[in-house]
Structure 1
Amino acid sequence: MNRRLVFALLFVSASASAAPPSLEPLLNSIAERLAIADQVALSKWDSHKPVEDKKREQEVIASVVALAPSYKLDPATAEQFFSAQIEANKLVQYAHLSDWQFQDKAPDDPRPDLVKQIRPQLDQLQKRLLLQLADFSPQRTDPQCPQWLAEAVHEPRNEPMQQLAMIRATAELCIYKN
């Protein structure tokens, strides 16, 4: 397990005790998806392909919108949630690519195949995230929701980029009712 994934999975270790049990697995899966961004960035570095992949993004969104009702989720909720995941993932990729450009080299980490290995991983994770989002959905309107997220993502062991990516990935998770 690479170092980034180990850190990413520590996101909720110090989350608020009042947080519902359904939040921790959701945040851990979000962190796992963000950790995969490292591998995607390496693939993009090697292939010189841009981070932005509108076709793939549209495929992911179309898939979650189609699957949402089977998870008892509103398609618009699934679309919004996964759009945030995609944006957070791109944020990590852009940061890595900039760092590697500055250093004039990428890490010597193993390079899994984007299409054959990484995307199937993301597709499996997508189903788990839909299920966990559905499990957490009743708590999205809880007035404490923003506090639970803030405590989880501001865990002191998080690296700044992980924290920023988690903030982006969870930015629309809570629903504010006036």
Structure 2
Amino acid sequence: MRLRSSILCALVAALALTATSATASAAPRESLLPLAGSSAERVRISDKVAAAKYAQWHEASRWGAVGGTGSPIDDPAREQVVLDFAAKRSAELGIDPVRSVALFRDQIEASKIVQRGLFAFWDAHPGQVPTERPDLPTEVRPVIDRVNGELLDELAATGHARTSPRCEPGLRLANAIAGRQWHLDRLHRAALHVALGSACVR
């Protein structure tokens, strides 16, 4: 009887701990660091996007097959896929799709800032061009898609923090910390600043 009682007590305690953990994970976050961290990761992934596009552009140019937008960086079709995902997922999470789409436009522009910066550097320093060519559909975009999902989860969790008068100073601090954690240089820090331009609700 005592053994059965002990087992029952242990189960109750385990369930209580699980419930507490679930409540804590679902609770609104005051810190904007996870949001900044996910944005910093996305900015970093732009290096691989740039490497893939740079190789594709030069190969197409060599064969006279350059077309589309006339730019190796702009990809309107892919950008629309990202924005449509942000709007659809926002509705599922109960957050404002308009604000989410605005933030993802900033994320896309931040990626382009990195890509343009790296293209210019590689044009000036051909010896620094990456020797490995990442595959966009199979290697790079799945990572971006994962980070995009994390960004939307963070938007849902930080609604209170992003509408607070303290949002902007808090975001600057979070950006500074994330920049150090991800070892961002000046180009990538500038991109991170742009990436979260719509994070605070003014």
What range is the shorter-chain TM-score in? 0.7 to 0.9
Q: Which of 152, 155, 164 matches 2:190? A: 164
Aligned ranges 1:26-41 → 2 under 5 Å: 26-41=35-50
The aligned counterpart of 2:77 is: 55
* TM-score under structure 2 length normalisation: 0.72
1:152 partnered with 2:174: yes
Query: Any idea what the Cα deviations from partners look like across 1:70-89, whole Å, max 9, x if unmatched?
Result: 11211111111111100001
Query: Any idea what the Cα deviations from partners look like across 1:3-24, whole Å, max 9, x if unmatched?
Result: xxxxxxxxxxxxxxxx923x11
Aligned ranges 1:104-123 → 2 under 5 Å: 104-108=126-130, 110-123=132-145
Query: Unmatched 5+ residue regions in structure 2?
Result: 1-28, 58-70
Query: Any idea what the Cα deviations from partners look like across 1:80-113, whole Å, max 9, x if unmatched?
Result: 1111100001100100000000112444353321
Asked if structure 2 preserves the Cα contact closer than 8 Å seen for 1:45 and 1:106, the reply is no
Larger proportion of helix: 2
Asked if structure 2 preserves the Cα contact closer than 8 Å seen for 1:88 and 1:169, the reply is yes
Query: Any idea what the Cα deviations from partners look like across 1:2-59, whole Å, max 9, x if unmatched?
Result: xxxxxxxxxxxxxxxxx923x1111111111111000000001100061010111011
Query: Any idea what the Cα deviations from partners look like across 1:117-156, whole Å, max 9, x if unmatched?
Result: 1111111211111101111122111111111122233458
Distance in 1, matches of 2:175 and 2:33, equals 11
The structure with the largest alpha-carbon Rg is 2
Q: Which of 86, 108, 128 matches 2:150? A: 128
Distance in 2, matches of 1:52 and 1:75, equals 23
Query: Unmatched 5+ residue regions in structure 1?
Result: 1-18
Asked if structure 1 preserves the Cα contact closer than 8 Å seen for 2:51 and 2:130, the reply is no
User: One-letter code of the match for 2:123?
Assistant: Q
RMSD (CA atoms)? 1.8
1:20 partnered with 2:30: yes
> What percentage of residue pairs aligned between the two structures are identical?
32
Distance in 2, matches of 1:171 and 1:73, equals 17
Q: Which of 129, 142, 156 matches 2:164? A: 142
Asked if structure 2 preserves the Cα contact closer than 8 Å seen for 1:42 and 1:106, the reply is no
* TM-score under structure 1 length normalisation: 0.81
For the residue of structure 2 that corresponds to 1:140, the secondary structure is helix
For the residue of structure 1 that corresponds to 2:132, the secondary structure is coil
Distance in 1, matches of 2:90 and 2:171, equals 23
Equivalences, count? 157
Distance in 2, matches of 1:71 and 1:124, equals 16
For the residue of structure 2 that corresponds to 1:47, the secondary structure is helix
Asked if structure 2 preserves the Cα contact closer than 8 Å seen for 1:40 and 1:118, the reply is yes
